[in-house]
Amino acid sequence: MKLRYSLCLLTLFASPLVAQTPKSLPTTEADVRFKADVLLVVAHPDDETGVSAYLAQLLDQHKRVAAVYLTHGEAGHNNMGPERAASLGAVREMELRHAMTKLGIDNVWFLDGRDTPTQNVLESLANWHHGAALEEVVRMVRFTRPEVIVTWLPGFFVGENHGDHQASGVLATEAFDMAGDPSIFPAQLAAPVHVNETLFDGLRPWQPKKIYYFSDAQEQEQFKKTGPEYVVTGISSARKLPYWRIAMEEFEFHLSQYRNYIEGLAKKDDQELVKDGWSDPVQLTFGKSNVGGSVTGDVFEGVISEPIAFIRPAEEVEKPRAGLSVELAGPWGFYQTFRREHALQQLPQAASPEIAIAGGAALQIPLLVRNGTATSKEITLSVTSPEGWATKDGVGSYTVRAGDELPVVVTLDSPKKAESKMAEIVCHAQADGQAVATIKLQVHLRAGGLPQD
């Protein structure tokens, strides 16, 4: 206490003096301890599991790996004690830090996002205060100066399909395209002017060279050949263990989430562990590169050690909409815009829009009706659904003024039985006695899982 008091006094007295002596300001050379070759940007403690066997390979190649977690993953259950909410976040943070230390990664940062247990990426972005979270991710990119960013695939797929996973991929992509732009978050780039500076970071713009994605989609086959695939059965030169075993050892720290499974691991033989998927290769999806290289080539193919200048993402012109249109909106509509704005049209997407919900849960289908004609129009929405489904809300006739657009949410009750099966829900839009649009959504009914909203 005494020491702290005297340090405070020292700061108070020292400030005006030191402020007049710029020579005492720290060096402008970035702190090499935090330079990353690969920056992992994910949402929750344990999200690294899908790529940790690959990260272990990078460490063997003496690559510097760092990680940013958007949340503490505080929304789930706790298998270790009564702690929940923010206290569970504290538990998860420490489990992750121990796990990453075991893997060999020390530079791990947690941002201020809250766990959002839904499938809707827009809810996650709102819950994280999108702009504020983006500012934090851009800061971490400028601070860690990664050559390559690895993150969750921004897209809507049946699987865990966590909105937070998608949102971390959205933010990482936005940061990839913005961190090198000096007009973005300029206070991060301003030179410190006070000794006790709290506003200006003194960072430099940084343009990462490549971005890769991985996905929690149930159907992993669709990502084959969309990027490099890393076999994980090789033996680590440093650890003398197969890479998949290193990944499993890392995972064993996540006890508050998987206690029973982890405690059972010791009794499983290799065959059972292989069946659990531990030795499956790590499949990445190529996002984009500013230094060339092929889609399925190594992540570091084409990566040079020198920094590169800011590259503005290639704009793709939006096709002008004429006449009447009805489109899937919400997260599905957002991804259409996102892919176009970030020049990511080649990213895999579900063949037909899809979602998984629990049997008995309500299904919400967000639609956007646009009237690009010169006259007011009446549009009628109707739904075709399999037996057992009931349309609850949103169908009927709507008048949309000339040049206007109208968001509509069609809501259906799904059958109570939670047995795993697929349903095709079709929304029809009609105007002037003619079909305007037919929108199909594939719905997987299953027990458990995340709610839609």
User: What are the tokens at 357?
Assistant: 């919900």
Residue nearest to Zn ion (CB): 44
Cβ proximity to Zn ion, 50 vs 180, nearer residue: 50
Cβ proximity to Zn ion, 44 vs 139, nearer residue: 44
Residues contacting residue 37 through CB under 8 Å, at least 6 positions apart: 58, 63, 64, 65, 146, 147, 148, 300
C-alpha distances (whole Å) from 323 to each of 181, 291, 395, 415 are 37, 41, 21, 36
Q: What DSSP assignment string belongs to 209-239?
A: SEEEEE--BS-GGGGTTSS-EE---SBPTTT
Cβ proximity to Zn ion, 47 vs 123, nearer residue: 47
Can you tell me the distance from the alpha carbon of 230 to that of 282, in angstroms, rounded to the nearest whole number?
5
Q: Residue from 37, 47, 48, 135 that binds Zn ion (CB under 5 A)?
A: 47
Cβ proximity to Zn ion, 44 vs 145, nearer residue: 44
Report the nearest approach of Zn ion to the CB of residue 105 (Å): 17
Report the nearest approach of Zn ion to the CB of residue 132 (Å): 20
Q: Are 39 and 144 in contact (CB under 8 A)?
A: yes
Interacting span for Zn ion (CB under 5 A) from 45-53, 109-117, 206-214, 223-231: 45-53
Number of residues that bind Zn ion (CB under 5 A): 2
Report the nearest approach of Zn ion to the CB of residue 217 (Å): 14
Interacting span for Zn ion (CB under 5 A) from 40-48, 79-87, 277-285, 337-345: 40-48
In 315-433, the DSSP E strands lie at 323-328, 354-358, 362-372, 377-384, 390-393, 396-400, 405-413, 421-431
Residues comprising the chain, all counted: 453
Can you tell me the distance from the alpha carbon of 338 to that of 164, in angstroms, rounded to the nearest whole number?
16
Report the nearest approach of Zn ion to the CB of residue 46 (Å): 6
Report the nearest approach of Zn ion to the CB of residue 50 (Å): 10
Cβ proximity to Zn ion, 168 vs 430, nearer residue: 168
How many Cβ atoms from other residues are within 10 Å of residue 86's Cβ? 10
Binders of Zn ion among 229-268, rule CB under 5 A?
none
Report the nearest approach of Zn ion to the CB of residue 72 (Å): 11
Does 44 participate in binding Zn ion (rule CB under 5 A)?
Answer: yes
Report the nearest approach of Zn ion to the CB of residue 137 (Å): 16
Residues contacting residue 209 through CB under 8 Å, at least 6 positions apart: 147, 148, 289, 290, 291, 302, 303, 304, 308
Interacting span for Zn ion (CB under 5 A) from 3-11, 38-46, 203-211, 359-367: 38-46
Cβ proximity to Zn ion, 165 vs 342, nearer residue: 165
Does 92 participate in binding Zn ion (rule CB under 5 A)?
Answer: no
In 181-329, which ranges are continuous DSSP H helix? 243-251, 255-265, 270-275
Interacting span for Zn ion (CB under 5 A) from 36-44, 219-227, 236-244, 444-452: 36-44
Question: Which residue's structure tokens are 């949410």?
Answer: 409
Instruction: Tell me which residues touch Zn ion (CB under 5 A).
Output: 44, 47
